[in-house]
Amino acid sequence: MLLPPNTRLLFIGDSITDCGRERPVGEGYGLGNGYVSLLNALLNSTYPPHPVRIINVGVSGNTVRDLEARWQTDVLHLKPDWLSIMIGINDVWRQFDSPLQTEWHVSLEEYRATLERLIQKTKPQLKGLILMTPYFIEANRSDPMRAMMDQYGHAVRELAEKLHALLVDTQAAFDTALRFVHAKSLAGDGIHPTLPGHAILARAFLDVVEYEW
């Protein structure tokens, strides 16, 4: 597995990462009820001689702007060895559920530039970086929100290649599942996963860090 023993692995993102985690920092029993907690359970039960300290600082509703506003406190001050970032869902969603509140909208160009700026600021102190694409659980790729989400996901893939980060293609993982199950069984609103949906995220993450199933 790529994560060395005693790694401090920090997850930052929006509600998909947050999932009711404890404040100010989620650890131990306070990791929330989503994919971060599933990862913690799997890693620390099946690799007991290989402990990984998992920290959750996801915040519901966040866009990449919000991440930048709290980056010093919630990332740099916590000094993770490895960092996982999943952001972008709200950057897209606000353009659809709040079309008149244009001040809330984060353009693709702003999204890409802000995310790259945060990564460049942090990468020198990291041993590993993992970027997770945003997603929309919708099989119809011509759906307007799905089409826009794919553009933001493509930006993450480009940044992962440019900045030598590991990439978790969450959209591809959900697309595979959608060949067999209906989208509503994975997320009623296409965004907030059921427990099986969170398990899909956890599995996609573990595959990328070469977890031995």
**Active centre residues (catalytic):** 15, 189, 192
Distance CA 211, CA 213 (A): 6
Bin 27: left if φ > 0, else alpha if -120 < ψ < 50, else beta. Answer: beta
3-class SS of residue 85:
strand
Alpha helices for the chain (secondary structure H): 15-18, 35-46, 64-71, 89-97, 108-122, 144-162, 170-177, 195-208
